[in-house]
Amino acid sequence: MDYLEYKGYKGSVEYSKEDDCLVGKVLGLTKETILYEGFTLEELKADFEAGIDSYLAYCESEGIKPSKGYSGTFNVRVSPEMHQRIAMNAAKYGLSLNSYVRQCLERAVMY
pLDDT tens profile 20-54: 999 999 998 888 899 999 999 999 999 999 999 99
What's the predicted TM-score (pTM) here?
0.67
Could you give the angle at which helices 97-109 and 80-92 cross, rounded to 10 degrees?
90
CA distances from 24 to 32, 40, 88 (A): 14, 12, 42
What pLDDT score does 15 carry?
Answer: 94
Topology of the domain comprising 3-62: Double Stranded RNA Binding Domain (3.30.160)
Counting Cα atoms < 13 Å in the Cβ hemisphere of 9 gives 27
Which is higher by pLDDT, 1 or 95?
Answer: 95
pLDDT tens profile 50-91: 999 999 999 999 999 998 767 777 889 999 999 999 999 999
